[in-house]
Chain A
Amino acid sequence: MRHKTFFWFILPSLAAMILFIALPLASVVIQSLHIEHEQVIVTTENCGPFGCTEESSVDTEATAALRAEQPLGRFAGLTTYFDRGHLATAEVAEAWRSRDSLGGFFSELYNLPFYKALAFTLTYTFLVTPLVILLGLMIALGVNRLTPVLKGPTIFVSLLPMIITPLIGSLILFWMIDAQGVIGKNLQWLFDDPDLSLKASPVLTWITLMVYGVWSSAPFAFVVFYAGLQTVNSDSLEAAMIDGATRWQRIRYVVIPHLSPLVVFISLIQLMDNFRVFEPIVGFSAQANATSLSYIIFADMRSDITRFNSAAATSVLTVIGVAILLSPVLVRTWRDFKGKAA
């Protein structure tokens, strides 16, 4: 295809991506380097019988005018990045100096909003992803053994947790685990503790959110693995069997190696999706005990005074996180590409 034709074909799509993905990223960087204008202070000299006093007051009109004229605010460099709401370098250094133990240092760190969100985001990403893969594989192996008549309905039901709107899915579960809901009540009965509430403690909230994450993402892994299982070579399975392999050995040495490229694919998609965990926190109203990077950006924009610069700085840090997360994949693809070219 000639360059010119290619250009015209790709133009609408490329323009949309540049305008609404690339430029917003630039806009986020610019916003994060600015900070809201300070209030305009006017000093007036009041001279009375006992001499003159200087009085300063806030000129609200001038402040509003200035802020309306330059909504971006004034240039502030990297200050927002290092303030208490973000990397909090001063606080971290202080906590490190005055630490009595490593645990104490981490609990200090956990009190800072950015690190609290980062802790949950990373824990969520790196626990949910492997669990999704494991559960998806088990369901796929199980469904693969069903009689053909049952397969269709089973796959239908299995798809539901995945296609459901994340906010709605988490709300449904949230209502069920409520202390007065069906799961909440039965857990109280099971543990014989009438005060048990999954919303009360941070640990239980984290577990609830991760259970939701696995529930909603396992179908994706299941479907991909299930499709992969349809292409396992039955000759090699039979050969393994004749050689005396047990069922487990057949899975371990024939099926799993066949599925391993799919594991890479699922982990890539899941890492990307889990890193932006957001809706479940809104749905489960879990912000007191668990926040994610996406959630604190949302909270900054939703607060009474929209803190554009703070949201933007967190966004930039999040994008850097995504880049780090993706770098192994990108490096690998780059090597493959160079290998192909050479």
Chain B
Amino acid sequence: MSSIANRSSRSVIIFSSAFVLLWVVIASFPFIWTLWGSFKVQADFFSKADWRNALWGTRTMIEAGGTFTGAGYEGAWIQEEFWRAAINTMIVVVFTVIISLTFGTLGGYALARSGHNYAFWLLMIALVFRAMPHITLVSGYLLPFFEWNLWGHLPTSIIVLVAINQPFTLWMLHSFFLNIPKDLDESAKVDGCTQFQAFRHVIIPVMWPGVITTGLFSFLLAYNDFAVTSMLLSEDNRTMVPAIAAFLGSTLEEGNVMFAVAAVVSATAPLFVLVMFFQRQIVSGLTAGAVKG
């Protein structure tokens, strides 16, 4: 920071600070606004009279007797049973992450240590698979799953999400394992370990930072998915995102929009916590691919 190259004129500093400030507002305002608005009634959040009503809660005061109301949350979680969707999401996400990482570490390790041509080709195929729009794959599943009675169950969605996740997981863990010195497992093999024993006793203890980073992205993919879960799950097994989409079908009823707003805020909260605790891992994960690529 002390190098001369980084010193610059006052106007440049002001301009760039103003730009960053503007970006921070653009990036955060929608979230703050929606969080604030989720405690108001619909007549304030979508105000026919004046948008500032949402700030002071004018109608909320009249309708609910206070400037804040938890009616939206109550409606979503209790009346519409959003908790079922939350539990389903938890099941899907936990299993998807665990299975993806198990498959991915084995595969990524093999790709990083192979050195044969086919390892390169597998990575290329994985890249092509990574580019496939998820909905095209779903249109391939739907008919067979109907026929074999696999449609609608949580395990089906989990294994599909694991598979869709594999290309990315493989790439990421592959580049991560390349960074672990080959000498480690080579020397274990010289000492008489099989490849799997070397992996088990030498690599597994040192692989956790990379696995956690990759796990975060698997989590995001499973948690944020709409294409797969909305098409492959029956109504009882819905996860949060398709459940929110279903709320919207009945938006015309007064008050129902606030259910959706409350559900949206509830579904966003875990993501906030995630970024708060794992910001450094997410940043390093995003850049890991770039440095190798």
- List residues of A whose CB falls within 8 A of some B CB: 1-3, 5-6, 8-10, 12-14, 16-17, 19-28, 31, 71-72, 138-139, 141-143, 145-146, 148, 152, 154-161, 163-169, 171-173, 175-176, 178, 180-182, 185-186, 215, 219-220, 223-224, 226-228, 234, 237-238, 240-241, 247, 250, 261-262, 264-266, 268-269, 272, 275-276, 278-279, 282, 285, 293-294, 297-298, 300-302, 306, 308, 311-312, 314-315, 318-319, 322-323, 325-326, 329-330, 333, 337
Report the interface size for chain B: residues with CB under 8 A from the other chain: 110
Could you tell me if B124 and A315 are in contact, using CB atoms closer than 8 angstroms? no
A-B CB pair tally, cutoff 8 Å: 310
Q: Quick check: which of B60-68, B71-79, B142-150, B207-215 contacts chain A, the rest being far away?
A: B142-150
Could you tell me if B124 and A333 are in contact, using CB atoms closer than 8 angstroms? yes
Could you tell me if B129 and A21 are in contact, using CB atoms closer than 8 angstroms? yes
Is residue B250 within 8 Å, beta carbon to beta carbon, of the partner chain? Answer: no
List, in ascending order, chain B residues with CB within 8 A of A24's CB.
Answer: 137-141
List, in ascending order, chain B residues with CB within 8 A of A333's CB.
Answer: 124
List, in ascending order, chain A residues with CB within 8 A of B252's CB.
Answer: none
Q: Which of B31, B50, B54, B146 contacts A160 (CB 8 A)?
A: B31
List, in ascending order, chain B residues with CB within 8 A of A165's CB.
Answer: 223-224, 226, 241, 267-268, 271
Q: How far is the CA of A265 from the CA of B124 in the complex (A)?
A: 15
Could you tell me if A158 and B27 are in contact, using CB atoms closer than 8 angstroms? yes
Q: Which of A12, A180, A185 contacts B107 (CB 8 A)?
A: A12
Majority SS of interface residues in chain B? Answer: helix
25 CB contacts below 8 A, A to B, read A2-B195, A12-B103, A13-B104, A27-B143, A31-B143, A139-B23, A142-B17, A142-B19, A143-B20, A148-B1, A159-B283, A160-B28, A163-B275, A164-B268, A165-B268, A167-B226, A167-B245, A178-B46, A186-B51, A223-B287, A224-B286, A228-B287, A247-B12, A294-B135, A319-B136
Could you tell me if A182 and B133 are in contact, using CB atoms closer than 8 angstroms? no
Residue of A nearest to B219 (CB): A163
Residue of B nearest to A269 (CB): B289
Q: How far is the CA of A69 from the CA of B104 in the complex (A)?
A: 39
Could you give, for residues 114-143 of chain B, a 1 whenever the CB lies within 8 Å of some chain A CB and a 0 otherwise? Answer: 111001101010111111111111111111
List, in ascending order, chain A residues with CB within 8 A of B179's CB.
Answer: none
List, in ascending order, chain B residues with CB within 8 A of A157's CB.
Answer: 24, 27-28
Q: How far is the CA of A215 from the CA of B202 in the complex (A)?
A: 43
- Least CB distance, A18 to chain B, in whole angstroms: 9
List, in ascending order, chain B residues with CB within 8 A of A302's CB.
Answer: 231
List, in ascending order, chain A residues with CB within 8 A of B8's CB.
Answer: 247
**A1-B113, A163-B220 known; A28 vs B28 contact (CB < 8 Å):** no
